[in-house]
Amino acid sequence: MALSSKLLMTGEDVVETTRTHVKVLLVPLLVLLVVSFVGGFAAAQAGDAGDGWVRWGVVAVSVVLVLWFSVLPFVRWLLWTYTLTSMRIVEQKGILTREGRVIPLSRVNDVSFEKNLNDRILRCGTLIVHTASEEEGLFLRDIPRIEHFHRTVSTLVYESHRRRDEPL
């Protein structure tokens, strides 16, 4: 879910919207496969025992596990976005209760990124944005194509600082 156009300021354009790398969905996918296999096998083995209540119990437990450990993480991943505009960086997350963080590019002091070996293989990483405030920097974890995103943020921050420092 990208940043809504009604939340954009006058003259502001969305440059890029991203979410975390799909690698965060690996464990939920494995849970889905294992629970489906084990639940299907257990339901087949239960047969009509207890007039079919055992089978329906196994199916119910399997559905709850899949919803809790596969569907919920997927929806959480889908609704957690990072949007880079021409004036700010916006992080939005949450399913029922939405929360976000906005950092104006003119307040950014430092932009860096980190990649471990897994991140290098998957071409993702963590972008770290520090501002002039006392608050801890913003950590954008598992950003796909981190070098491109870092370069884009750095360019926009430089342009923002240059515009701010120009004499009137």
pLDDT score for 3: 74
Q: Are residues 92 and 51 in the same domain?
A: no
- The pLDDT score that the predictor gives to residue 167 is 67
pLDDT at 148 over 70: yes
- pLDDT at 76 > cutoff 90: yes
pLDDT digits (tens, 9 = 90+) for 13-61: 889 999 999 999 999 999 999 999 999 999 888 877 767 788 899 999 9
Share of the chain above pLDDT 70, in %: 96
CA distances for 33 relative to 38, 44, 69, 105, angstroms: 9, 16, 11, 43
Q: How many domains does the chain have?
A: 2
Domain match, 103 and 136 both? yes
Give the best-scoring range by mean pLDDT among 8-12, 67-71, 104-108: 67-71
pLDDT for position 1: 57
- Domain with 10, as residue range(s), is 5-20+84-165
Q: How far apart are alpha carbons 64 and 12 in whole angstroms?
A: 43
My answer on whether 72 and 140 are in the same domain is no
What is the reported pLDDT for 47? 76
